[in-house]
């Protein structure tokens, strides 16, 4: 039973208190990349924001504890909404909000759903939105 639910892995993890040599190296690497790469790039180039199409930069921002905001940027060839992500240094949330709002106002990329179809499936209600 213990093997079935992965209890042995949990017990091994608890024995290390969660932080071993590999984790310490990973934390050091993330701190180094944060201070000597991302922060340095932003400060030395006097940048207000990092811009990325889609959500690919979101994990990088989250791991470093940096703020980010995603807004609609258009639609792909199948009509699926795509976004753009703005990220910045810690404390830059007001500036990022200003940039994101300006982008939304300039592009008017967001299209609200124009039709919804409600489907009842047993006790589950599903909503389908259609974008023009």
**pLDDT mean over 70-79:** 87
pLDDT digits (tens, 9 = 90+) for 11-56: 877 777 667 788 888 888 888 877 778 888 899 999 999 999 888 8
Percentage helix, strand, coil for the chain under 3-state DSSP, each rounded to 5: 40, 25, 35
**What does pTM read for this prediction?**
0.64
Q: Where are the domains of the chain?
A: 1-47, 48-132
Predicted local distance difference test score (pLDDT) of residue 22 = 86
Q: Is 41 exposed, middle or buried (0-12, 13-18, 19+ CB in 10 A)?
A: exposed
Choose between 1 and 29: higher pLDDT: 29
Residue % of the chain over a pLDDT of 90: 32
As given in the structure block, the two tokens for residue 72 are 């609609």
């Amino acid at each position: 039973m213990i093997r079935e639910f992965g209890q042995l892995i949990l017990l091994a993890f608890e024995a290390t208190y969660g932080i071993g040599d590999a984790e310490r190296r990973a934390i050091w690497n993330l701190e180094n990349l944060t201070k000597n790469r991302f922060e340095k790039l932003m400060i030395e180039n006097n940048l207000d924001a990092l811009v990325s199409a889609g959500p690919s930069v979101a994990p990088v921002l989250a791991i470093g504890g940096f703020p980010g905001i995603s807004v609609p940027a258009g639609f792909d060839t199948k009509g699926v909404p795509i976004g753009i992500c703005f990220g910045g240094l810690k404390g830059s949330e007001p500036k990022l909000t200003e940039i994101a709002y300006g982008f939304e106002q300039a592009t008017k990329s967001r299209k609200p759903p124009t039709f919804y179809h409600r489907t009842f499936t047993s006790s589950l209600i599903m909503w389908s939105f259609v974008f023009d």
